[in-house]
A and B are shown apart, each in its own frame.
Chain A
Amino acid sequence: MDKLAFLISEGVRNLWRHKLTAITAIFSVFITLFLIGSLFVITQNSHYLIEYLRTKYKIEVFFKAGVTNEQARKIMGVIKEIPGVRSTTLITKEDALRIFKDQFGEDIVAILGYNPLPASCVVNINRKQPDSVDIRPLISKIKSLDGVDQVNYQGRLIRRIENFYQKIVRGVSIAVIIILLLTIIIIANTIKLTIHAKQDLIKILKLLGATNLFIKIPFLLEAIFQGLIGAGLALVALVGVIHAGNTYLEKLFHMRIQYDPVVGAIMVGFAILIAFLTGYRTVTKYLA
């Protein structure tokens, strides 16, 4: 028990003893994890944004003049079953008449003597789709249905939004992979250097009769503490930036940057894992 307490205290005190190397390691963990965390938040928020925008995609389906409200309801039931469709809302001939009257102030039945407006329905698409939404196949399917006269949708706008989303997803994915690799290399090399600088310590401890485990534990704890502190600082900075950003965004655009605490957990776990694995590998190399 005394030995374990000693090893843990050595791990903590080593941070203080080797301040410069510890600060270097913590700083490199901080910078890289802050970047990774930022990219995660960007990806997450672009995802939330696209989901929000998809709720605004509106497809209006106009039925042929002879289609009754009952028939329109049946066709709408078929539309609802098409993959990618989230919901449908029927606008009966009478609803259309009322909307017309509200918008133009004219009673068209009084003028014409009959209701010329067709029944229609509004189709909303699924907002939670892993990939970009290509609305054209959906439109073709709706158009091919019996009783459907015309389909109105914001095709060009939707394509633009979806293409932009795709670009963001692809760009961020590539950036995440590159930064992830850089993070592994930077953290690994920093920890390697801190251990390399202590080769003499390893040699002396070996000569004094220390087992490999006795030598390894403080190094591993030191590496884990460095990873933990660096990740913790990155997390605090990231949350701080998000909060500061939200203050302005809420005032200017009534928007908020969303933040999932899982990102924080991943960042801390990632830093500890890399620090531990690199620390273990490097100490083992010098002990051989």
Chain B
Amino acid sequence: MISFKNVSYSYRNGSGVTNINFNLDPGEFTFLIGPTGSGKTTIMKLIYMDLYPDSGKIVILGTNVAKLKRRKIPFLRRRIGMIFQDYHLLNDRNLFENVAIPLHIIGIPRNEVEERVYRILEEVGLTNKEKQYPEELSGGEQQRACIARALIKDPEIILADEPTGNLDPIASFELVNLLEQINREGTAILMASHNYNLIKGRGHPIIEMRDGKLRNG
């Protein structure tokens, strides 16, 4: 599903990731852990093609990123759901509109959009909140909204970059439980986190990063 072979990327300041190798299989829930600055977000950005590797080969959902034309990137991104630490919700739109955006991007008919948004909001526990704006929601609710937005387009994989970074321990715990529930329904998940306590004992594969390298790689 996702494969990194000898992938390196360095920012202008010299930081980045070096010689990364790993594979993610369909339907797998994998944790990407490491301290802040270890390269987790860089890995995420390389997967959703916000960055291009300096060297090495990345294959995303069967597509070699190096051979993908730039104008085709949006179509590959539509198969990936993304969740961010700072939510990236649009503050000038209500919850319904935020969650519906991916469906409008794909071109889903209006009546179907409504049905799917209400269904997904129920699934993530945000029923009756559709008229509220992001600033009217708690951190946990905003992150659930973000999950709903990622999930609504039925992605093959969800990338969650420090999704619990701004949440209290209880909300964090509930969020990981929700992601596990989504994973059980068949969606692969790669979740980056620096919170070891949150992920330990869950029985999922772990990729550990340190100083831009895989610790066990």
Residues of A that sit less than 8 Å from B by CB: 2-3, 5-6, 17-18, 200-201, 203-212, 214
Contacts and interface: CB of A to CB of B under 8 A. Distances in A.
Contact of A207 (B82, B93, B104): B82
A201 B92 CA distance: 10
Contacts of B82: 207-208
Contacts of B102: 208-209
Contact of A204 (B71, B90, B104): B90
Contacts of A18: 92
A5 to B, nearest CB: 7
Contacts of A17: 92-93
A3 B104 CA distance: 6
A182 to B, nearest CB: 30
Contacts of A212: 71
Given A201-B90, A204-B88, A208-B149, 11 more contacts: A2-B104, A2-B108, A2-B110, A206-B77, A207-B77, A208-B77, A208-B78, A208-B82, A208-B102, A209-B80, A210-B74
A203 B110 CA distance: 24
A205 B93 contact: no
Contact of A2 (B75, B107, B149): B107
A214 B109 contact: no
A205 B92 contact: no
For chain A, what secondary structure do more than half of its interface residues adopt (helix, strand, loop), or is it mixed? Answer: helix
Contacts of A206: 74, 77
A205 B105 contact: yes
B74 A209 contact: yes
A2 B108 CA distance: 7
B75 A207 contact: no
A212 B102 CA distance: 14
A214 B105 contact: yes
A5 B75 CA distance: 21
B201 to A, nearest CB: 32
Interface in B79-107: 80, 82, 88, 90, 92-93, 101-102, 104-107
Given A2-B109, A5-B110, A6-B104, A209 B92 contact: no
B110 A211 contact: no
A203 B48 CA distance: 13
B168 interface: no
B104 A209 contact: no
A210 B75 CA distance: 8
A201 B97 CA distance: 13
Contacts of A209: 74-78, 80, 102, 105-106, 153
A4 B76 CA distance: 21
A6 B153 CA distance: 17
